[in-house]
Amino acid sequence: MSRYPLLDDIELPAQLRELDSAQLPQLADELRQFLIESVSASGGHFAAGLGVVELTVALHYTYNTPDDRLVWDVGHQCYPHKALTGRRDQMASIRKQDGLSGFLKRSESPYDAFGAGHSSTSISAALGMAMAASTQNSQRRVAAIIGDGSMTAGLAYEAMNHAGDVGADLLVVLNDNDMSISKNVGALSQHLTNILAGSLYGSLREHGKQVLGKMPQIRELARRTEEHVKGMVVPGTLFEELGFSYYGPVDGHDVETLADTLAKLRVKKGPQILHVVTQKGKGYPQAEQNPIQYHGVSPFDPAQGVVSSGGKKPATYTSIFSDWLVDMATADDQLIGITPAMKEGSGLVKFAEQFPDRYVDVGIAEQHCITLAAGMATEGLKPVVAIYSTFLQRGYDQLIHDVCIQNLPVLFAIDRAGLVGADGATHTGAFDLSFLSCIPNLMIMAPADENECRQMLTTGYRHSGPAAVRYPRGSGPGVAVDPALTELPLGRAEQVRSGQKIAILSFGSLLTEAQTAADSLNASVWNMRFVKPVDDQAIASAATDHDLLVTIEENSVIGGAGAAVANSLAKQGISANLLHLGLSDDYASHGTPEQVRIDFSLSAEQIVATITARLAEL
């Protein structure tokens, strides 16, 4: 007998829609068990998906996907969706090279209506689809599914404000997994939702509008009375003010009621919002109790849960930053640590515990995060913005307009720079050196090892203007870290190997590969350290004493550190044979960092082969 008698017969949502609604709870139970077994074996995002099993089943049961559009926010919660849309047999390959993406990806499936890896994009994208459907006289329906965390971003409210203004036929499902509902309140709210979503209430409401339309003052009084009454029992007043009809909160784990409510809302006109309350990690006790630990997991035994491997782990660049932040905050009481909702990922946990009054989490609001730091800096504080490279892209205007034009002393600790592995293109920090290098007043550094990372953070923090230190995910080469808060000489590179004919200028994390390649080629190597100001003297020496000048960086070769070297040569009037190695004009796939590095020909062996081929052309 099959362990999944219903799930095994469902390859696509059309088959799901053939079930009786009374069978949906069993299907949800089977899907949740499948996810526990699948993700515990393969690794990946875990708790978020378990929390939306019933919601995913209800959406695909109610909406005619893929003709109707479901737009999932971020993608952490997309695993149940993937399992129900023809990809269940491929789930073991998720986040692995040539396997399924861990996020939504349009090229992967017609059921992935919009690609996503960053948060808070779903409502804007869904509104665009809804407006397109109206323009095309199409009857397809559109729903955006967004979490309460993603609703901290301004982009979500910009989209809702516009949706309310144009009156688009759009459903926003707010997945709230940070509040609980007691049985009494839950029963009351569910009763209210049934009333508000039902046809009787809707027809009475519209008929009342028509009657009162001829009596504007009375109609306004009725409108205000309705809002105040609803505002006393449901938290939807804000959404109503934005032009949405609010329904909820409802139990996000009652799949039959969800399906019934969604069926009623699907046919309604105008913008609607359904507030669904769920529990992250639902159905797996350890994940319910610790959803942060079980947000993303490596393979584990589901009978035991995630178990610490024990022993001392190599220091990561994130942990280097974490220790430095605490040490510098101890030395300087003007330091403020700021993050856009990435306390754990960016290494601010210890800082937040020891300096709670100097720790600021702005939520998923990168633009506000940067301008907030600028405002603090004008008043003599020393903000340190801890942010992923790929998320810094979202605050680019604020970086230029609010920080750098005013030359304010804000330090940007840029984590996950370069290749990140399994998260793929949406999280790869491929462009920061390119988009930062062109900004006046900004000092930019890229460490080659752990100790250098700490020294650069100190250098940037004590700099009189804006500074950025970009460092990769994971551990470095294992260099011992000096606990002193030591600065580096400004704009000075370090020659780490002397050779002949070939000079390799390495920026950041690829120094080990550069040195290995240099050993085979008898090449000279410089650890450049600073991307801006770049060391003109080192570049001139390397160019004039060698036949070939090679730049290496884990960043796009277009406009990156190699371009800074070319600009330096041009400024100095020096002609040189140049070879730029880095990330080519393409997006990174998902896989291990080592695998993806090979995709871009950046292993030591590939570097040797590329340089040898260029030498042969000279």
Which residues are the active-site residues? 280, 366, 394
CA distance 419 to 589: 10
**In this structure, what token pair is assigned to residue 20?**
């009786």
CB 538 within 8 A of CB 417: no
**φ, ψ of residue 42 in degrees (nearest 5):** -100, -25
Q: How many CB atoms lie within 10 A of CB 161?
A: 12
Tokens 């004008």 found at: 378
What would the DSSP string read from start to end of 368-381? HHHHHHHHHHHTT-
CB 117 within 8 A of CB 426: yes
Pairing mode of beta strands 443-445, 530-532 = antiparallel
Is residue 452 packed enough to be buried (19+ CB in 10 Å), middle (13-18) or exposed (0-12)? buried
CB 254 within 8 A of CB 247: no
Nearest to 371 by CA among 416, 406, 341: 406
CB 528 within 8 A of CB 492: no
| Termini Cα distance of the chain | 69
- 335 to each of 173, 361, 406, 505, how far by Cα in Å? 39, 15, 19, 34
For residues 26-55, one letter each, b for 16 or more C-beta atoms within 10 angstroms of the residue's C-beta and e for the rest, the string is: ebbbbbbbbbbebbbebbbbbbbbbbbbbb
CB 47 within 8 A of CB 287: yes
Residue 90 DSSP label: G
CA distance 43 to 424: 15
CA distance 460 to 400: 17
**In this structure, what token pair is assigned to residue 96?**
């692995």
CA distance 143 to 72: 9
Instruction: Write the CB contacts of 410 (distance below 8 Å, at least 6 apart in sequence).
Output: 370, 373, 374, 377, 383, 384, 385, 403, 466, 467
Centroid of chain to Cα 447: 23
H-type helices in 303-384, by residue range?
Answer: 317-331, 343-346, 349-354, 366-378
